[in-house]
């Protein structure tokens, strides 16, 4: 009988030391640069989808970036035929410089648009974007 209690106590002691070893969910750490690259891709996709609310959610409220998205939305919204426009935006990121809660990104955007069989494309050339980190999240500020 003593031997049985010995094994029960030994098992409990081992269980206490081994709790959490390999059984928990591991959350991968995503680098700041990767978060910023993902945010740029998400903004391009939201604009391509003409999802203005989502695009604005990636911008710091009241910032130049936010106001620019609002301006584009107000120019497009009155024209229902704009919904037939297909927009495709491809970002090229040249550098990301992170300094605390602010990041400077040098990038260009290749934009393609199709409307009623017409095609147009443009490359914006290199430009600088400013992003800020607030509440643990990155936002476009410009």
CB 109 within 8 A of CB 131: no
Q: Which residues pair with 133 in a beta bridge?
A: 138
Phi and psi torsions of 39, nearest 5°:
-65, -40
Distance of alpha carbon 93 from alpha carbon 30, whole angstroms:
18
Task: Give residue-wise pLDDT tens across range 32-81.
Answer: 999 999 999 999 999 888 899 999 999 999 999 999 999 988 877 776 66
- pLDDT bucket at 26, cuts 50 / 70 / 90: low
Q: Which domains does the chain have, with CATH numbers?
A: 31-140 (3.10.450.50)
Burial class (CB in 10 A: 0-12, 13-18, 19+), 7: exposed
Rg over CA atoms, the chain: 25
């Amino acid at each position: 009988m003593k031997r049985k209690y010995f094994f029960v106590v030994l098992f409990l002691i081992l269980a206490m030391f081994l709790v959490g070893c390999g059984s928990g969910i591991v959350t991968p750490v995503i680098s700041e640069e990767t978060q910023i690259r993902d945010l740029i891709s998400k903004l391009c996709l939201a604009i391509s989808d003409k999802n203005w609310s989502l695009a604005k959610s990636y911008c710091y409220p009241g910032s130049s970036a936010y106001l620019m998205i609002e301006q584009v939305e107000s120019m497009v919204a009155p024209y229902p035929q704009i919904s037939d426009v297909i927009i495709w935006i491809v970002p090229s990121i040249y550098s990301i410089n992170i300094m605390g809660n602010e990041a400077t990104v040098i990038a260009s955007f290749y934009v393609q648009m199709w409307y009623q069989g017409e095609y147009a494309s443009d490359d914006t050339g290199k430009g600088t974007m400013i992003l800020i980190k607030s509440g643990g999240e990155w936002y476009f500020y410009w």
